Structure 1
Amino acid sequence: MPILIIAFVLFVLLDIAAMLWGYDSRDGIDSAEWVRRQEWQLSHLAQED
């Protein structure tokens, strides 16, 4: 039982740390993600040549 309590407390602390110092990577409705993906793909294809 003590291990279960310790694991629960660790998960709660990790959740709090994620809320405080985490990064929100969600894109908005007007995101140009497809443009970034296309540019990324083209830049990696050019590096292979």
Structure 2
Amino acid sequence: MIHAACDPATQVRDLAIMQEHGFKLEDVQPFDLFPHTRHLECVMTFVR
């Protein structure tokens, strides 16, 4: 499963929920979609 978010706090919350439901975090990839700003998207890949 793929999960994308821009808020680290909610992404950590969602990571915990996914792990509780049997998913394992396989990869995290940051994406700078808004250059010259503080915003950063992170995409997490989960496997079951």
Higher helix share: 1
Whether the TM-score (by the shorter chain) exceeds 0.5 is no
Bigger relative contact order, structure 1 or 2 (CA pairs below 8 A, ≥6 apart): 2
Bigger CA radius of gyration:
1
